[in-house]
Amino acid sequence: MQLDWWQPLAGLGLFLFAMRQIEEALELASGRPLREFLRRNTDSPLRGVATGTLVTAILQSSSLVGLMMLALVGAGVIQMRNALAVIFGANLGTTFTGWIVATIGFKLDLDALALPLIAVGGLTYTLSNQKSAHQSARFVLSLGLLLMGIEFMKSSVDGLGQLIDAETLRSFGPVQFVLFGAIFSAIVQSSSATMAVTLSALYGGVIDLPSAAAVAIGADFGTTSTVLLGAIRGAAAKKRVAAGHFLFNLATDILAFILRVPLLSIVALIGITDNLIGLVAFHSLFNLMGLVLFLPIIGLIANFLDRRFVDAATGVSRHIGAVPPTVSEPALEAIQLETGHLLQRVIEQNLLVVDPPVRVAKGRLPIGSVEDPTRRLLATKNFANEYQTTKRLEGEILAFTIDAQTAELEPDQSGHIDRCQQAVREAVHASKSLKDVQGDLAQFDASDLTAVSAYGQRFRDVLTEFYLALYAVRRTESDRMTLEDIIELNQLAHRGHEEIHRTIYSDVRRNRLEEDDISSLLNANREIFLSCRALLTAIAALALPQEQVETLEVLPGSVL
């Protein structure tokens, strides 16, 4: 008897192709809602585990979920410990494929299911011009091809047991079967495909249940290669996720290998006599064991990884360097967070424009999320140096947003990027206005003329009053800037500007100022006001809904 080797290879090829098509169809159909679902439902490790299990059971790809976690953690959207919980849950969710294959793939006549699915899916995909119908047809067609691939693999092993020397296989040790599972899974980039092949071999009597269990352990470990490859050249945040995935699977699989005989005994005690069901039950059981053991110490694991992987200081950005600009949802999140980071820097560096700096002892930065209200973002207390650093950050953000706009974006996504770009430009302008008059402010303070030196203190008072009010807006982490806050701060800056303007004119009429001083004082007063107004424009663009920003544009004495 001879075996047609093309049949099992064709079955494996169909299975892998169909799995990839199903993943892509599901991701295209639910990419943005799915990422939003992951963001909303991963605020605690327990919810992260449940979300990871559910999403992976639906998508049938722990690798895809892992890559999503890389992007979301890299963008700063999800905390490290919660991302690890999602990946832990994904390991359990991916075992769902084995249950489907074992309970349906080897129990039913798959041709009776596959052919109608291929017919309906293929014809609909070819004849329909609607995008939504295209995606649905692609999914149905891929599902039919997947079932056909399983049928090819199943039928090809019917006589395989007669062609293979059982004594030779029995001479292989458990470690060799583990290595086979790991290498095969890493090559095909799918533990689900490895399980399907293993189930086929077990169904055909080629290997026994203990050997198949060892292959399943190896397949579980081999699937970490996809996430490792996705993070190898990424930022530290991505490396933490990939390392966490690797360490969790490594520890779980070592325990599973050591305890494989007791675990298989538990499966038998439950009353499972079918070897196919026994294998997938074993696969689920040891993944559940790892989850139960490591979930309580997930915080310790996250802290260890945070210390182990630190970004090299190659740029100023904190968020945009960790995600590719063409992956729309994580890129938009990163742009939002990085813009907030730049605004925080600008606010703090503007306090340094006078010497000694303006003191703001209480309150929170009005933009972004800062766990410690007293935390400062600046490395030095030199305004000029920090301004140049912020200019570099501006360039990094604008370059990233330009790249992000080359991707296919929804109108609201494009509008969001436009507002972030406006916020960046206005925030840097707020610092440039102060940079242009920094020398004048120092000269006012050092002037021998009492009337001129008094203006140095007046300008300091205006800046102090404005920034004290700015820091006082957010008393708690949940507070947000409102339209009314922006209007009040603008009125405050406007009053300070008008009062100094009137005083300068009064001193001119009384001949208390020299001509050169008059020009410098008027220019400094104007630039300080423009700085405050530009900063408020930046905050409004980032923090307020678009309709409220448009409202500001038509208000008398508008900020914008």
- Residue 370 pLDDT level (bands cut at 50, 70, 90): very low
Within 13 Å of residue 402, how many CA atoms lie on the same side as its CB?
6
Three-state SS for 210? helix
Give the pLDDT confidence score for residue 372 in this predicted structure. 39
Supply φ then ψ for residue 181, to 5 degrees. Answer: -60, -40
Categorize the per-residue pLDDT at 501 as very low, low, confident or very high, splitting at 50, 70 and 90.
very high
Question: Which pLDDT score, from 0 to 100, does residue 432 have?
Answer: 94
Q: Quickly list DSSP for 133-150.
A: HHHHHHHHHHHHHHHHHH
What confidence tens digit (pLDDT) does each residue in 189-228 have? 667 777 877 887 787 777 888 888 998 898 888 877 766 7
The stretch 10-22 carries a mean pLDDT of 70
Mean pLDDT across the chain: 79
Higher per-residue confidence, 147 vs 543:
543
Residue 424 has pLDDT above 90, yes or no: yes
Helix axes 209-222, 260-269, angle to 10 degrees: 120
- What pLDDT is stored for residue 500 in this prediction? 93
Confidence (pLDDT) at 83:
82
Contact 129, 16 (CB under 8 A): no
Q: How far apart are CA 204 and CA 157, in angstroms?
A: 5
Other CB atoms within 10 A of residue 263 CB:
20
Q: Angle formed by the axes of helices 328-350 and 62-74, to 10°?
A: 20
User: Tell me: the pLDDT tens digits for 320-343?
Assistant: 776 767 666 777 888 888 898 899
Q: Would you state the pLDDT for residue 362?
A: 64
| Block residue for tokens 């002037």 | 447
Confidence of residue 162 (pLDDT cuts 50, 70, 90): very low
What are the b/e assignments for 459-481, b being 16+ CB within 10 Å? bbebbeebbbbbbebbeeeeeeb
Residues contacting 101, CB < 8 A, separation 6+: 150, 195, 196, 199, 280
More confident residue, 275 or 107: 275
Residue 225 is predicted with a pLDDT of 74
| Domain limits, the chain | 6-308, 320-553
End-to-end CA distance of the chain: 83
More confident of the two residues 315 and 144: 144
CA distance 188 to 12: 9
pLDDT above 90 covers a percentage of the chain that reads 18
Half-sphere exposure of 14 (CA within 13 A, CB side): 22
Q: Residue 413: pLDDT above 60?
A: yes
What whole-number distance in Å separates Cα of residue 426 and Cα of residue 409? Answer: 24
| Tens digits of residue pLDDT in 241-260 | 788 888 888 999 999 999 98
Q: CB–CB of 413/332 below 8 Å? A: yes
> What would the pLDDT profile of 164-175 be if each residue is shown by its tens digit?
444 555 567 888
**20 vs 266, residue with greater confidence:** 266
| Nearest-angstrom CA–CA distance, 329 and 318 | 17
498 — pLDDT class (breaks 50, 70, 90): very high
User: How far out from the chain centre does Cα 42 lie?
Assistant: 12
Residue with the bigger pLDDT between 327 and 373: it is 327
Which residues are within 8 A (CB) of 109 and not within 5 positions of it... i.e. 6 or more apart? none
Sign of CA dihedral 176, 179, 183, 184: positive
CB-CB neighbours of 368 under 10 Å: 20
Alpha-carbon gap, residue 111 to 233, rounded angstroms: 44
Interaxial angle between packed helices 62-74 and 45-59, expressed in degrees from 0 to 180 and rounded to the nearest 10: 130
Residue 373's pLDDT is what?
40
| Integer Cα distance of 46 and 296 in angstroms | 10
Question: Is residue 52 scored above 90 in pLDDT?
Answer: no
Q: What whole-number percentage of the chain has pLDDT above 70?
A: 75
Q: Is the pLDDT of residue 469 over 70?
A: yes
Q: Are 540 and 424 in contact (CB under 8 A)?
A: no
Kindly state the average pLDDT of the residues 473-492: 82
Class of domain 320-553 as given by CATH: mainly alpha
Helices 209-222 and 275-294, axial angle in degrees (round to 10): 40
Residue type, 458: R
Angle, nearest 10°, between helix axes 191-203 and 209-222?
A: 170
DSSP three-state, residue 323: coil
Confidence at residue 528, expressed as pLDDT on a 0 to 100 scale: 94
Q: How confident is the model over 33-48, as a mean pLDDT? A: 72
More confident residue, 390 or 101: 390
169, 211 Cβ separation under 8 angstroms = yes
* Residue 151: per-residue pLDDT: 66
Rounded Cα distance, 473 and 467, in Å: 10
Packing angle, helices 174-188 and 191-203, rounded to 10: 130
Provide the pLDDT for residue 85: 86
**What is the rounded distance in angstroms from the CA atom of residue 385 to the CA atom of residue 348?**
13
pLDDT band at 550 (very low <50, low <70, confident <90, very high): confident
Q: Is the confidence at residue 304, as pLDDT, over 80? A: yes
Per-residue pLDDT at 313 exceeds 70: no
